[in-house]
Amino acid sequence: MLRNWFRQGTPWIWLNAGAVALSLLLVGGLLAFILLQSIGVFWPGDMSGHIGTKLLQYLANWWQFLSGSSSDGGIFPAILGTVLMVLLMSVLVTPLGVLAAVYLHEYAKEGPLLRVIRVAVHNLAGVPSIVFGVFGLGFFVYFLGGSIDSLFYRDSLPTPTFGAPGLLWVSLTLALLTLPVVIVATEQGLAGIPKNLRLGCFALGATKAEVIWKIVLPQASPAMVTALMLAIARAAGEVAPLVFVGVVKSAPSLPLSSEFPYLQLQQKITSLSMHIYDAGLQSPNAQLAEPLVFASALVLITLIFILNLMAYRLRKRLNSRYRQRAVEE
C-alpha cells in the first residue's frame, strides 16, 4: 500500500507542489507587503474634499516623489543613478563576457589550464561583493583613475578628476562583479548549439570565424540576454561595494552634461538601493521615513521589472528570429 503510494510518485508530486506553493507564497507575500506598505503613503488623508481631487493629489504626490530632487524629498537622482550605472555596466560587461565565453568555449584548448580558468571564473561568482568594492577602490579609483589624472588632467591636480570615486568606477566594479554570471550563462548557451549546425556551416566552406559570427553568436544571443537579465537584477540591488567606488547618499549634482557624451563619468551618483539603505537606517527620523523606504523599494522593484521585461521582449524577438526545432545530433 505504502509502497504503491511511493511508486506512483504521489509524495514526489506533493513535495514539488509544496515547494512551488511555498516559493509563490514568499515572493507574493513580499511583493504584497511592499505594495501595501507603500501604496497609501501619498494618499492625502488629512485633506478634505472630493475623491477625485484627492486622487489627483495622490498622483501629484507620487510624481513629486519620483521626479523631485533629494532636497525636495524626491528620488529622481537615485532612479537616474541606478539606471545609468546599470546601463553603463551592461555596455561594459556584455562584450567582455561574450568575448571571454567565446574564447573559452570555441578557441581555448581543452586542458589543465582551461580547467583552472573555468574554476576561477566560477569561483569569482562566489566572491563576496564587498571584496569587489575594495578592489574597485584600490585598482580602478586609485590606480587607473590616478593614472588617467596624471596623464590627462595634470593641470587640475592635486584635485582628482578620475582619481576619485565616480560613476565610471561604479559601473566598472559592477561589470566585474557580474562578469562571471555573463561568462557562465553565455558559455552554456554556446554549448547548447547543435553540433550539426556548426558542421553544416563548415561544410559550405565557412572558416571558423565565419561559423562563430554567422551561426554560433546569433544562436547564443537569447542566452546572452538571459545572462544580462541576471546581471542587471544583481547589480541594481548592490549597495555595500559601491560605497567604495562612487555611490553616495546624496550626490551634489546629476551626472549629466549638455555635451557629448552627455554623461559626467567622474561624478558621484546615488542609487535607489543606497537611498533605501540610507533612508531606512541612517535618517534621524526613521519612523517618519519608513513609508518612504517602502515606496522606494516599490520603485526599485518596478524598475528591475521593466528592465527585465525589455530583455524578455528582446529575447523573444531573437528566439523567433533564430527559431528552431530541437535538432538532435
Q: What residues make contact with another protein under the rule CB under 8 A? A: 194, 196-207, 210, 214-215, 219, 322-325, 327, 329
Asked if omega into 11 is within 30° of 0 (cis), the reply is no
* Residue 157, CA distances (Å) to 11, 79, 149 in order: 70, 32, 8
Q: Is 247 helix (H, G, I), strand (E, B) or coil?
A: strand
Residue pair 319/223 in contact (Cβ under 8 Å)? The answer is: no
CB burial class (10 A; 0-12, 13-18, 19+) of residue 45?
exposed
Shorter beta-carbon distance to another protein: residue 164 or 216: 216
What torsion, rounded to 10 degrees, do the Cα atoms 35, 39, 40, 44 define?
A: 170
CB 68 to another protein: min, Å:
49
CB 194 to another protein: min, Å:
8
Shorter beta-carbon distance to another protein: residue 55 or 199: 199
Task: Please choose, from the candidates 272, 268, 276, the residue with its C-alpha nearest in 3D space to the C-alpha of residue 167.
Answer: 268
Cell of 189: 548557451
* Residue 19, CA distances (Å) to 9, 28, 30, 31, 321 in order: 15, 14, 16, 18, 35
CB 222 to another protein: min, Å:
12
Residue pair 180/122 in contact (Cβ under 8 Å)? The answer is: yes
CB 119 to another protein: min, Å:
22
- In sequence order, which residues have a C-beta less than 8 Å from that of residue 52 and are 6 or more positions away? none
Shorter beta-carbon distance to another protein: residue 79 or 201: 201
Shorter beta-carbon distance to another protein: residue 124 or 206: 206
Q: How far is it, in rounded angstroms, from Cα 124 to Cα 78?
A: 28
Shorter beta-carbon distance to another protein: residue 259 or 329: 329
Shorter beta-carbon distance to another protein: residue 30 or 199: 199
Q: How far is it, in rounded angstroms, from Cα 257 to Cα 269?
A: 14
Shorter beta-carbon distance to another protein: residue 36 or 327: 327
CB burial class (10 A; 0-12, 13-18, 19+) of residue 300?
buried
Shorter beta-carbon distance to another protein: residue 154 or 325: 325
Q: How far is it, in rounded angstroms, from Cα 300 to Cα 285?
A: 22
| Residue 42: other Cβ atoms inside 10 A | 19
CB 121 to another protein: min, Å:
23
CB 192 to another protein: min, Å:
13
Shorter beta-carbon distance to another protein: residue 155 or 329: 329
For helices 10-39 and 286-321, the axis angle rounded to 10 degrees is 130
CB 251 to another protein: min, Å:
47
